[in-house]
A and B are shown apart, each in its own frame.
Chain A
């Protein structure tokens, strides 16, 4: 038997032994450093809004420290919450958002199911097409959309423009493609055997969707709902273009158009309105996060 010749020289440089605990410590330090940095970055504006909302107009215009409230007052809050107009904006926003979320889910969930699971001619192209639709910016779309709606209005005689409900037709062009895309991803991650088992158990496509896919992809459904709600709640350009009468305005447009009178900025109320407007999404996030249980598919298959 011949023995193998093994090079005894080894590496030419001295090998420095690593330390896993030291690596971990440094990784933690860096992550906390950046987390704190970004927390400051993203929390400073709301903090400034809160401080300003607690000041009277006189204190805002006075040359005092802008980061401190010397004479805290709730007058901005009282004025807005008792203002009929502001509550009307709030109501319009809520109505539009809820209807849009419902429409979006009713369209995008079945669409995503079809695109993810029913292999038909062109389904892959269509799935990509859905996503590409989302990439077209709304600032490009609003003029053609306006033209279209004006035409529909002329032809049918149904008043659409300058009505809050026109937004219910317009927003889904933003929400449906993206939510469909999110749901395709979630549905695609469900093991194929699960729907095959359901089919063999005697489920129809619709039953497979409602009794297996929707419960299993519930976290995805929540994510899509949150997205659709946020988009509808915070949309600015479309309501600015499509609605003009004060009683038809939604919150973001209402605040900026009614609280800025000419060159007079009612900063206290603007900040208060913005803060109050940010509350519903926050509350909804907090509420839905409890249900956002990741890894709901655990146990379906080996793993």
Chain B
């Protein structure tokens, strides 16, 4: 077990910078998820920690030691790959024990570790099978088992669930969380799936274009995104961004969304945003769950307005409604019994207590 530190880590491929100076401190026992769209540099970062890619600049430390020039086998890490990468000619037990056998561990020790890992992952019955006789989920368990038996300082996961079907993915997600609760090894996990990131991580690192956008607990990222990218990336359906301006009206600060739609800001928000210039182009960031059907009694800070729905998507426990606000497509979540219909008018409520205000030009959350 060990902590992992990245200092100004840069990866260049010829002229292209895939990773542009990353600083990251991962505590011992921590479960860190790197998340971002494809090409954001998250896998490259993971592979640099593993030692599968050279570092163009900066330092990577595992357990306090700089490992920039240490070969993968001496870094004491284990990696689980997206496509499992099991050795096809070996049985499950041989796959799991390969690393230990290379290091000439005593047979009894190897057997004990393999048995223990197989029990932990519930693959005891499969121990003598070849990978081709296993299902995708079982193969992924074996790949995890191969990592666990090594008892390494750090686990590295490279999109381990992307090849599984949706149902199995949820199941294996829980499985990975359980394993981490028992084994407590420092883990770096890469995924493009924000749900996986939110559900697994102690802390999530959101990456974009080779840089870290924000590091935080899942709740911090969801409720206090630092940038437009994070706000839009975390959460499904994504946060709505509606162009707006701030106005003074009768001594109160209000937000104007359209010629006909302007709402007074709740007092706490008014204080926070009062210093902002009134002329600047801003974006109102509002999650779909804060755009619901309007009730007779509106809480303070909740404002209602009329709109015509374009499309509705009944999801069972909720209905997603899509409509346009001055040409901006907007998504809301309403009660399935609220009577939302395609093409029908509806009165919706906007919860401004949970609003975000962003600078349209810089994408910074204000």
Residues of chain A touching chain B, judged by Cβ–Cβ distance below 8 Å, are: 191, 193-194, 196-204, 207, 211-212, 215-216, 218, 296-302
A197 lies within 8 A of B79 (CB):
yes
Q: How many A-B contacts are there with CB distance less than 8 Å?
A: 87
Give the residues in chain B near A196, CB-CB below 8 Å.
Answer: 50, 52, 79, 81, 85
Nearest 3 Cβ contacts at the A-B interface: A299-B132, A299-B131, A193-B85
Contact check: which of A200, A211, A215 meets B77 at CB < 8 Å? A200
Chain A residue nearest to B131 (CB atoms) is A299
Q: Which residues of chain B have a CB within 8 Å of any CB of chain A? A: 50-52, 71-73, 77-79, 81-89, 98-99, 102-103, 130-134, 136, 139, 146, 150, 163
CA distance A196 to B99 in the complex (A): 12
Please determine whether B83 and A202 come into contact, CB atoms closer than 8 angstroms. no
Q: Which residue of A lies closest to B73 (CB)?
A: A202
A299 contacts across to B, CB distance below 8 A: 86, 88, 130-134, 139
Instruction: Determine if B87 and A212 form an interchain contact, defined as CB atoms under 8 angstroms apart.
Output: yes
B89 touches A200 (CB 8 A): no
Chain B residue at minimum C-beta to C-beta distance from A300: B88
**Are B134 and A199 in contact, CB atoms less than 8 angstroms apart?**
no
A201 touches B146 (CB 8 A): yes
Q: Please name 12 further chain A to chain B contacts, defined as beta carbons within 8 Å, in addition to the given A216-B87, A296-B88, A302-B83, sorted by A numbering.
A: A193-B84, A194-B85, A196-B85, A197-B85, A199-B71, A200-B99, A201-B146, A212-B87, A215-B89, A299-B132, A300-B85, A301-B83
* Chain B residues, CB < 8 A from A216: 87-89
What is the chain A residue whose CB lies nearest that of B139? A299
Chain A positions within 8 Å of B84 at CB level: 193, 300-302
Distance between Cα atoms of A136 and B182 in the complex (Å): 63
Q: Is the CB of A199 within 8 A of B131?
A: no
- Cα A227 to Cα B88 in complex, Å, equals 25
Q: Across the interface, which residues of A come within 8 angstroms of B51, CB to CB? A: 200
**Minimum CB distance partner of B98 in chain A:** A201
CA distance A191 to B150 in the complex (A): 22
The reply to whether B83 and A191 form a contact with Cβ atoms under 8 Å apart is yes
Bound Cα distance from A207 to B98, whole angstroms: 11
A194→B87 contact, CB < 8 A: yes
Q: With A and B bound together, what is the CA distance between A200 and B89 in angstroms?
A: 18
Name B129's closest neighbour in chain A (CB-CB): A299
CB distance from A104 to the nearest CB of B (A): 23
11 A-B pairs in the complex with CB atoms less than 8 angstroms apart = A194-B85, A196-B79, A197-B81, A197-B86, A199-B72, A199-B73, A203-B73, A207-B102, A212-B87, A299-B134, A302-B83
Report B39 CB to chain A, min CB distance, Å: 18
Query: What's the Cα separation between A93 and B103 when bound, in Å?
Result: 44
CB closest residue in chain B, given A295: B132
Are A201 and B73 also in contact (CB < 8 A) when A191-B83, A300-B84 are? yes
Kindly report which residue of chain B lies nearest to residue A190, judged by CB atoms: B88
Shortest Cβ distance from residue A219 to the other chain B in the assembled complex, whole angstroms: 11
Nearest CB on A from B73, distance (A): 4
- On whether the beta carbons of A302 and B85 are closer than 8 Å, the reply is no
B102 partner residues in chain A, CB cutoff 8 A = 201-203, 207
Between B50, B89, B132, B146, the greatest number of chain A beta carbons within 10 A of the residue's beta carbon is seen for B89
Chain B residues near A211: list those with CB within 8 A. 98
Closest chain-A Cβ to B47's Cβ sits at a distance in Å of 8
CB-CB < 8 A to B87: which residues of A? 194, 197-198, 212, 216, 300
Q: How far is the CB of A64 from chain B (nearest CB, A)?
A: 57
Q: What B residues does A300 contact at CB under 8 A?
A: 83-88, 131
A186 to chain B, nearest CB (A): 13
CB-defined contacts of A218 to chain B, threshold 8 Å: 89
- Which residues of B lie under 8 Å from residue A194 when comparing CB positions? 85, 87
The answer to whether B83 touches A297, judged by C-beta atoms less than 8 angstroms apart, is no
